[in-house]
A and B are shown apart, each in its own frame.
Chain A
Amino acid sequence: MDIIGFLQQPIPFLVWTSIVKTLFVLFGAILPLVSLSVFAERKVSAFIQDRLGPNRVGAPATLVGFKKDYSLWGLGQMVADPIKLLLKENFIPNSVNKFYYYIAPKLTMIPPLLVLAVIPFGSSFLVGPDGKPVPMVIANIDIGVLYVFAVSSLGVYGIVLAGWASNSKYPFLGGIRSSSQMISYELALGLSVVPVFLICGTLNLSQIIDWQIVNGWLICPVPFVGGLHLEAWRFALIPLMVISFIVFLVSMFAETNRTPFDLPEAEQELVAGYHTEYSSMGFALFFLGEYAAMIAGSGVIVTLFFGGWSLPFIPDGSSHWLFGLESHVWTWLPGAFWGFVNINVFFAKVSLFIFFFIWVRWTVPRFRYDQLMKLGWIYFFEIALANIFLTALVLVYLKK
């Protein structure tokens, strides 16, 4: 059997497209994005503090015979930082519990990467042998959002284990803070998105996006494509969804351990918190995990509230229209083009949210952890709960 024919059978087709998508997400999108957001973190923080930030490391063009080097606004730092971390000595203190010490960074890094498996990062690309376009999501599962919450909250185990296994007081305090933080925001995080499912009637992230394409983004569910839909229930939902979004966003900051809720790290109080005793790749994995969590969190926010890969007036990958012309000859061409645009739209939205994460980090001071618990238990939990009932009332009485 020839290889092309084999690859076009349904099951091998599913397997190899999934592998290609996984490799693309992991090496084509997440690792460069992590690297880029570390660079952006340094650059944006510098700009906010009226500094320049890294601006020297660029293309060493003199090595290949050019007259001068190009600094490229310091973009070379993106490559230089990981290389530096890879080449550093991996120092392991004597007193640590070796097994948990080794396993903790991996436990921090894996959950955010697993979350990315269910987030649709594009509409579709090309057409499969069965005539259906290939959806740009690694695992299109019906329990999408439940899976996201189940997996992403595992990330805290890495931090707690790192704090405990390091056998040192500052990491230990970081681990304790992390667990106190988790029990205070997880409830609000989960409850704040229940209105989304009430409205969409599904947990599948792809279907949530399909709903948003028809009915407008959930942050403001009034569509302006395909006729005016000015029913009262849509406008009644706007304030409720804004509240839901704010609660979810703030909980997401706590989930990803970003300022103002970076209590486990708290460099001014706890040296470096849970990763004080880590060096080289152990530290790099924590770093990667933190930024991958930020990207995954941004991806979830974008998918739930901002229409995912969709943009009004931009068709999806099943479209046959290209620059106003219907293509009959190469039917795959317009689909691939718009699929490419959709992927870029998704990552553009995610990048905006990463910028927002960084922007907030350099603006808002850290909460004390009793303040965080008060915020989570006394305010956000109640607000999210009330929001569910209000949304349900709107849907029952205003939406026919």
Chain B
Amino acid sequence: MALVLQRPKLSLAEKFYLPAVIGGLMLTIKHFFKSVGGKTETMQYPEQKWDDKLPEWYRGAPTLVTDEWGRERCVSCQLCEFICPPRAITITPEEIPNADPWAKVEKRPKEFEIDMIRCIYCGLCEEVCPEQAIFLRKDYAITGYSRAEMKHDKAKLYELGGVMPGVINKWNEKK
């Protein structure tokens, strides 16, 4: 059955526009006075922040973490470098010398750079990491005065990441 839509019959007041316009004006002036009274939706950024309301799964800046024993968890497998869509990660691997207590881990990053101008905060590096060494933490205001400053090196990444206890420690059994 064909559905026949009835065109709405406008009343005289509706045809004149003006009552509707006045209704609209009343609505906006209500919002105006509400805002003048101080009730706005704006959060004044540098003074007020979201920080304590960020969810657990928030994807901020990618960082490197150490475990409870101070070992850098990254083994320089370079999976994150390969999966990174904007190619923001550059890793220079290095062999761990035999004298080191963690010599059996064999590899560690000599240099680990994330170009924060390129990073898109997608979280694929965290997802792909077999060692749970790279995590997206909650820092979102990454700024700098130069391109060089925006390139996070290894020291900066560990400083941001800190210690991440309570994840898998598969290397401990083979100590």
Contact = CB atoms under 8 A, between A and B. Distances in A.
Contact of A50 (B18, B21, B27, B34): B34
Interface stretch (B38-46, B59-67, B106-114): B38-46
A46 B29 CA distance: 12
A50 B40 CA distance: 5
Contacts of A360: 25
A49 interface: yes
Contact of B31 (A47, A52, A246, A364): A47
A44 B35 CA distance: 9
Contacts, number: 41
B24 interface: yes
Interface in B1-50: 18, 21, 24-25, 27-29, 31-32, 34-36, 39-42, 44
Interface string A47-90: 11111100000000000000000000000000000000000000
B35 to A, nearest CB: 4
21 contacts: A47-B36, A47-B40, A48-B28, A48-B35, A50-B31, A50-B34, A50-B35, A50-B39, A50-B41, A51-B40, A51-B41, A51-B42, A52-B42, A52-B44, A246-B18, A359-B25, A359-B29, A359-B32, A360-B25, A363-B25, A363-B27
B60 to A, nearest CB: 26
Q: How large is the interface on B (under 10, 10 to 19, 20 to 34, 35 or more residues)?
A: 10 to 19
A52 B29 CA distance: 15
A377 interface: no
Contact of B28 (A46, A51, A52, A363): A363
B32 A47 contact: yes
Interface of B: 18, 21, 24-25, 27-29, 31-32, 34-36, 39-42, 44
A52 B41 CA distance: 8
A359 B28 contact: yes
B35 A46 contact: yes
Contacts of A363: 21, 24-25, 27-28
Given A52-B40, A52-B44, A359-B29, A364 B24 contact: yes
A364 B26 CA distance: 12
A369 interface: no
Given A47-B36, A359-B28, 12 more contacts: A47-B32, A48-B31, A50-B31, A51-B35, A52-B35, A246-B18, A359-B29, A363-B21, A363-B25, A363-B27, A363-B28, A364-B21
Interface of A: 44, 46-52, 246, 359-360, 362-364
A46 to B, nearest CB: 7
A48 B21 contact: no
Contacts of A364: 21, 24
A47 B24 CA distance: 15
Contacts of A49: 31
**Highest count of chain B CB atoms <10 Å: which of A49, A51, A246, A363:** A363
Contacts of B24: 363-364
A58 B54 CA distance: 32
A240 B53 CA distance: 59
User: 4 tightest A-B contacts by CB?
Assistant: A47-B35, A52-B42, A363-B24, A363-B28
Contact of A362 (B28, B40, B42): B28
A51 B35 CA distance: 7
